[in-house]
A and B are shown apart, each in its own frame.
Chain A
């Protein structure tokens, strides 16, 4: 199918305009970081600061333990990815392959994790984690984040497993594989795109968290995640927006990079899940 030049123009025009609109706030974050506070309180706003304050990045990097924050966020995210993948692969596989009585209700039950307001969750959760002696440890985040992640990833992986023919496992079992072995050695390799999509989704959700980190880790500065660190930069008397924005850029870059590399798997992995 060939497009007329007019159609191409409209298509490209729309795409560019939309992309600019959508990406503008991210660009604005960079501009804010590079502006002085006097630049910020001025109209008309400058779309590129006259003398961009690039040194703000060095300043923030020096003054705040940004590498530690990022490393903690990274650890919590990797842990959440690992835990939620193991759990949701198992659950997704079970829902896909076995006719489980009440499977649907159990699926909905898992979804309630996304329903109770966080305000009510924090105090009881704090007390649970405290009784396990885990307050201040990143494991609290791994567990708490996973509950937010698995309702969706279980659904996604169930859909993916549904598209993989059962004959694959049956053949393996005839060859002497146990049901678990068949799942691990035969089904999972085929499901790689689905797993990659799960991993990205889990990573993004974990990276975005602030409420849980604040509740469980506030008293353990060595475990602060990036989002928690950023919010502590807000002062009671004054807030340096350019410095917060610079720190926010540091936090946004890794997640955006990861997203850029894994995005194709996300849609690919979801595609099978979308087939009903």
Chain B
């Protein structure tokens, strides 16, 4: 067999090799950008490091960061806050996203315009979104407080940043506004791929609108929603700028998620070893959550 023949990718037996070659750039790119930082982070999390210096000799191996982490009330509080935020934002985005998608999936005049409007926040960069919402949730002159007072829902201006519950909702509402359009776009795509025949058949069988949604739309949307859900959850886990600008994790750590805690420990208190431990644990949680979400139907993602 000549050398040329080995690389004759047209041969059926060589085809899988082409597959690997085509996949290689993606894996290499992610490998370069993720694996090295990941190795560094795991390594740092096992040392007592205040400020890291890439390339410096490593300090002694220690599990102290993890011991401190698991015995710290702050960490468990951050886990709880993250969980709450993930639930609220995911459910909020899902409900808003799916219902707006169902709404603009109807045929009506101006539907294209409505579709554009519903998903527009997705295109607004987060940096700009927080500028807007910081003003809307301003405690002294913000629109939201004024609205609540005017509508009689609140006695006085709401101190968004110094009231734990209010702070959480300010963050959650901003995140839902930014997060739901992606769900909406994905749902719309999913809806359009459902053959109209299914609905017609169901109508002949006498299924009402809710039954059709429950038994046709929802099951057929599930694969898309599964992927969307994972992406939304990972976004909430990692997101940092919305909370940082709006509440800085406060008050009383009521909006301090794992990613804010990582940031504060790393760049606020210069405890990089400890911050890395928080980050590594966050990663593990994300991996497990993604596997659980995608694992049931393993081919759902790829």
Q: Which residue numbers of A lie inside 8 Å of B, CB to CB?
A: 8, 11-12, 14-15, 18-19, 22-23, 25-26, 28-29, 32, 40-45, 86-88, 90-91, 93-95, 97-101, 103-104, 106-121, 123-128, 143-144, 146-147, 150-152, 154-155, 158, 173, 178-180, 204, 207-208, 210-211, 227, 230-231, 241, 244-245, 248, 251-252, 255-256, 258-260, 263-264, 266-276
Contact = CB atoms under 8 A, between A and B. Distances in A.
B117 A273 contact: no
| 10 shortest interchain CB distances as A-B pairs | A98-B19, A107-B302, A270-B189, A124-B37, A94-B22, A91-B26, A259-B123, A127-B54, A115-B286, A90-B22
B36 interface: yes
29 contacts: A15-B110, A18-B103, A19-B118, A22-B118, A28-B143, A42-B141, A43-B141, A45-B146, A87-B26, A94-B20, A94-B22, A97-B19, A100-B23, A109-B27, A115-B283, A116-B41, A147-B29, A147-B30, A150-B29, A179-B15, A179-B18, A256-B123, A268-B189, A268-B192, A270-B185, A271-B193, A273-B189, A274-B189, A274-B193
A149 B189 CA distance: 19
A233 to B, nearest CB: 10
A208 B125 contact: yes
Q: Which of B18, B23, B122 has its CB near the most chain A CB atoms (within 10 A)? A: B23
Nearest to A260: B116
Contacts of A104: 298-299, 301-302
Contacts of B41: 116, 120, 124
A108 B238 contact: no
Given A22-B120, A41-B140, A104-B298, A255 B125 contact: yes
Given A26-B124, A244-B131, A264-B112, 18 more contacts: A22-B118, A40-B141, A90-B25, A90-B26, A98-B15, A100-B20, A115-B234, A115-B287, A116-B283, A123-B52, A123-B54, A127-B55, A128-B36, A150-B26, A211-B240, A227-B125, A259-B123, A263-B119
Interface of A is mostly: helix
Given A28-B143, A155-B227, A259-B120, A115 B238 contact: yes
Nearest to B231: A152
Interface stretch (B83-91, B210-218, B258-266): B258-266
A184 to B, nearest CB: 12
Contact of A128 (B32, B52, B127, B143): B32
Interface residues of B, number: 99
A117 B150 contact: no
A118 B33 CA distance: 11
Q: Which of B114, B294, B300, B302 has its CB near the most chain A CB atoms (within 10 A)? A: B302
B26 A108 contact: no
Given A19-B114, A255-B125, A26 B193 contact: no
Interface string B98-129: 00100110101010101111111111111111
Given A88-B26, A91-B22, A267-B185, A207 B125 contact: yes
A267 B186 CA distance: 7
B223 interface: yes
Given A104-B302, A270-B186, A116 B30 contact: no
B69 interface: no
A10 to B, nearest CB: 11
A65 to B, nearest CB: 17
B16 interface: yes
Nearest to B37: A124
A98 to B, nearest CB: 3
A111 B290 contact: yes
Contacts of B110: 15
B100 A18 contact: yes
A230 B279 contact: no
Nearest to A144: B33
A22 B25 CA distance: 39
Contacts of A146: 29
Contacts of A99: 16, 19
A81 B25 CA distance: 15
B121 A103 contact: no
B300 A276 contact: yes
B50 to A, nearest CB: 13
Nearest to B258: A117
Contact of A245 (B30, B131, B192, B231): B131
B33 A87 contact: no
Given A87-B29, A117-B238, A255-B124, A44 B294 contact: no
Contacts of B193: 271-272, 274-275
Contacts of A260: 116
A93 B22 contact: yes
Contact of B33 (A125, A152, A179, A211): A125
Nearest to B187: A274
B121 A113 contact: no
B275 interface: yes
B37 A116 contact: yes
B76 interface: no
Q: Which of A95, A98, A211, A241 has its CB near the most chain B CB atoms (within 10 A)? A: A98
Contact of B127 (A111, A123, A180, A227): A227
Interface in B180-215: 185-186, 188-190, 192-193
